[in-house]
């Protein structure tokens, strides 16, 4: 069986940035936090491939180490959203119209009613700022998103004959949800997952910007983007590199999402 081209491209792109982040654990061109005020705002060149920032720190090194924070925060937050939201959505759909459904969905509405940043500020105010608490804050906000998408997709499946056939075969709600519903809404979840991942990177940037995300000197792509904002006229490239990294990673994940969808769907699978 041939792997879809989109999957290969997406995996390569994502692996490149993931690789950069992983390499940074053992090697970076310069120490990540080393300042060289004399060489501040150097344009890209042989000494500093991507130039230096306003403190003279090497942008490539910052980008590599920052990738660790950004990818980790977004991935784990997405994971929290999926592991919390998907079961809730499946449960609500299996008991559609019941009290359970109402409680779950109204609980979701309650979380939705607050802007994510307000919840994040609340959580970090209680638990203190830092990358871990940022993950928690973003992850909690992901839960109702996945719950809603899951319930919506699952509801339309519950009216189909093959679900009725499974009921006639004596299977209960949990089992039908796992065997028949979840695989058939995987497309939806994969697409939503890539969206939430990119939003996660941006949310982390937002939290860092107000000082509630990764704490200096720990860099993250979002923090680099936020920091470069003040220099946008003097050194626009400072914003371009972390921005490109975010765009390329999200693109890579989207391609993986498309590829997985093709790979998982027997109807689209080529012989």
Contact residues: other proteins, CB under 8 A? 160-162, 164-171, 179-180, 183-184, 264-267
Q: How far is the CB of 31 from other proteins (least distance, A)?
A: 50
Shortest Å, Cβ 188 to other proteins? 14
Give the burial class of 232: count Cβ atoms within 10 A of its Cβ; 0-12 exposed, 13-18 middle, 19 or more buried: exposed
**Of residues 112 and 162, the one with the C-beta less far from other proteins:** 162
Helix, strand, coil share (%) of the chain residues, nearest 5 = 75, 0, 25
103-107's contacts with Cβ under 8 Å and 24+ in sequence apart are 104/147, 104/151, 105/147, 105/148, 105/151, 107/144
For other proteins, which is the closer residue by CB, 244 or 268? 268
Q: What DSSP string runs through 143-207? A: HHHHHHHHHHHHHHHHTSHHHHHHHHTT--HHHHIIIIIHHHHHHHHHHHHHHHHHHHHHHHHHH
Q: Which is nearer to other proteins, 37 or 174 (CB)?
A: 174
For the chain, counts of helices (H) and of strands (E)? 10, 0
Judge whether 67 and 20 are in contact, CB under 8 Å. yes
Query: In the complex with other proteins, which residue's Cβ is closer, 47 or 165?
Result: 165
Rank residues 118 and 268 by Cβ distance to other proteins and give the closer one: 268
Q: CB of residue 206 vs other proteins: minimum separation in angstroms?
A: 38
Q: How far is the CB of 266 from other proteins (least distance, A)?
A: 4
**CB 176 → other proteins: shortest distance, Å?**
10
């Amino acid at each position: 069986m041939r792997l879809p081209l989109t999957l290969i491209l997406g995996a390569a792109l994502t692996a490149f940035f993931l690789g950069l982040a992983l390499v940074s654990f053992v090697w970076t061109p310069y120490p990540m936090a080393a300042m060289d005020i004399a060489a501040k705002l150097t344009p890209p060149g042989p000494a500093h491939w991507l130039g230096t920032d306003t403190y003279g720190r090497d942008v490539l090194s910052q980008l590599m180490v920052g990738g660790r924070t950004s990818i980790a925060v977004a991935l784990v937050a997405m994971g929290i959203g999926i592991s919390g939201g998907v079961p809730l959505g499946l449960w609500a759909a299996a008991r559609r119209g019941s009290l359970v459904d109402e409680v779950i969905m109204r609980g979701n509405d309650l979380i939705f009613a607050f802007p994510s940043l307000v919840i994040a500020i609340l959580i970090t105010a209680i638990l203190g700022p830092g990358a871990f608490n940022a993950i928690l804050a973003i992850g909690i906000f992901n839960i109702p998103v996945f719950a809603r998408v899951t319930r919506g997709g699952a509801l339309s499946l519950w009216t189909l004959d093959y679900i009725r056939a499974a009921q006639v075969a004596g299977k209960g709600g949990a089992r039908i949800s796992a065997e028949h519903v979840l695989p058939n809404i995987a497309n939806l979840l994969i697409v939503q997952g890539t969206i939430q991942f990119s939003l996660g990177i941006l949310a982390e940037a937002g939290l860092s910007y107000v000082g509630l995300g990764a704490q200096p000197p720990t860099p993250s792509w979002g923090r680099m983007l936020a920091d470069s904002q003040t220099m946008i006229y003097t050194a626009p490239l400072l914003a371009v590199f972390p921005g490109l990294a975010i765009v390329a990673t999200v693109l890579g994940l989207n391609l993986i999402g498309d590829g997985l969808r093709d790979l998982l769907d027997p109807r689209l699978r080529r012989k």
